[in-house]
Amino acid sequence: METKATARYTLGKQSSLAPERENGSEVDDLEVAEAIDSTFRLMYLADEGDLEGIVELLDSGTDLNFRDIDGRTALHVAACQGRADVVELLLKRGAEVDPKDRWGSTPLADAIHYKNHDVIRILENYGAKPLMAPMHVQNAREVPEYEIDPKELDFTNSVNITKGTFCIASWRGTVVAVKTLREDVFPDDDKVRAFRDELALLQKTRHPNVVQFLGAVTQSSPMMIVTEYLPKGDLCAFLKRKGALKPIIAIKFALDISRNILRDDSGHLKVADFGVSKLLKFANTVKEDKPPMCGLDGACRYLAPEVVRNEEYDTKADVFSFALILQEMIEGCPPFSSKSETEIPKAYAANERPPFRAPAKYYAHGLRELIEECWSENPVKRPTFRVIITRLEAINNHHIHKNRWKVIVIRPLRCFQNLEAILKREF
């Protein structure tokens, strides 16, 4: 059992902003119930919803606003668990309404996270304030036109689209996609800056291959970006399900990508996440403050060598990534699928590229040559997207004309074969 100076309360639901702890860090119910002092027992009873036990402890002089090593109070615990009656009791007895734990979360933030609506109402009645977002403005006239009241977003039947970032919600009767900037990343200026940049890009971009921006929550925490929801899923999931695509489909998708990556109902692709995009405001190149970290999301498989080396880069880095995606659509597997995430940047730096295993006819009419130019080691030698679009359209026309001739030639042949059979029967 931890000492009072270092102990933390680990039963029940934890802080909405706390990193997940291993199960082994929790203590046994019986140990907590019988062996802890009165302050920790107060948190235990708040978790259990034992009103009589709480009143008895408070009447005996137990500190109502006691905090454990994580800065959590009995009110935090009750808010997480949805114990509305306990929250009401603690507040009536004078509990601090907006205490922050070590991660900056308040009882109201915890109640919102766990969707404990009765607790939210009680806390707000006692004056609890939502956490202020980094983009919060003091003057109401400065609130952006696109601002959405978070109360209008219904997460009752919410489903996660991507782990911890995107989810499905309902807004004014419409199903939408919501990207959330969690409160635990607020101290990270890089992520806040990326959120601002993505928001700025979505506001400025109106294109059939970009998801429609509907609004954002910037005046309270957590901050959110709300866009149209595309139920067909993302390109990565589509490729995992379908495998290699026919060249004419891959070229069609490649044109969607280069014209600016989710599939909409008409079978086209749309860019949905600008989280790592950069605004080239005053310069033609950008440089990261620190080299990119390769994680489990597979992003490093598509990063240009200059980005991995933490050098200055421009839109030609996107051309490199584009080539890998185009080849993946034809090959049916991610680039260097047999290599680990840490091995791939080294392979690109050594000028290795994913092998072409599909039949040569899938790369006809200059498609392979285009891919090889796009992933050139020297960014200057990579074509611009304007050039890429022109060449893809030419390749696409070759495929269309080829299929058209098949229809014209094959059908008459079948007619002649049928006529020959008829003539043989009659004569």
Residue range(s) occupied by CATH 1.10.510.10 in the chain? 235-399
Instruction: Write down the pLDDT at residue 403.
Output: 65
Residue range(s) occupied by CATH 3.30.200.20 in the chain? 140-228
- The string of pLDDT tens digits covering residues 283-311 is 456 666 555 656 545 677 888 999 888 88
Instruction: Write down the pLDDT at residue 387.
Output: 92
Question: Is residue 185 over pLDDT 50?
Answer: no
Pick the CATH number of 23-125 from 1.25.40.20, 1.10.300.10, 1.10.10.10, 3.40.50.170: 1.25.40.20
pTM for this structure? 0.56
**Alpha helix positions (H), 22-148:** 29-35, 38-48, 51-59, 74-81, 84-92, 107-113, 117-125
- Dist. CA 208–CA 268, nearest whole Å: 9
For residue 212, the 8-state DSSP code is P
Which band of pLDDT confidence, cut at 50, 70 and 90, is reported for residue 273?
Answer: low
- The string of pLDDT tens digits covering residues 33-87 is 444 577 788 999 999 999 999 999 999 999 999 998 888 999 999 999 999 999 9
- Dist. CA 7–CA 1, nearest whole Å: 8
User: For the chain, what's the residue count?
Assistant: 427
- Dist. CA 427–CA 423, nearest whole Å: 6
Q: Which fold has domain 140-228?
A: Phosphorylase Kinase; domain 1 (3.30.200)
Q: Which fold has domain 235-399?
A: Transferase(Phosphotransferase); domain 1 (1.10.510)
CB–CB of 71/102 below 8 Å?
A: yes
**Alpha helix positions (H), 126-218:** 189-204
Which band of pLDDT confidence, cut at 50, 70 and 90, is reported for residue 281?
Answer: very low
Residue range(s) occupied by CATH 1.25.40.20 in the chain? 23-125
Mean pLDDT, rounded, of the chain: 79
Amino acid identity, residue 374? Answer: C
Instruction: Write down the pLDDT at residue 27.
Output: 43
Of all residues in the chain, the percent with pLDDT exceeding 90 is: 37
* Element of type H or E holding 278: none
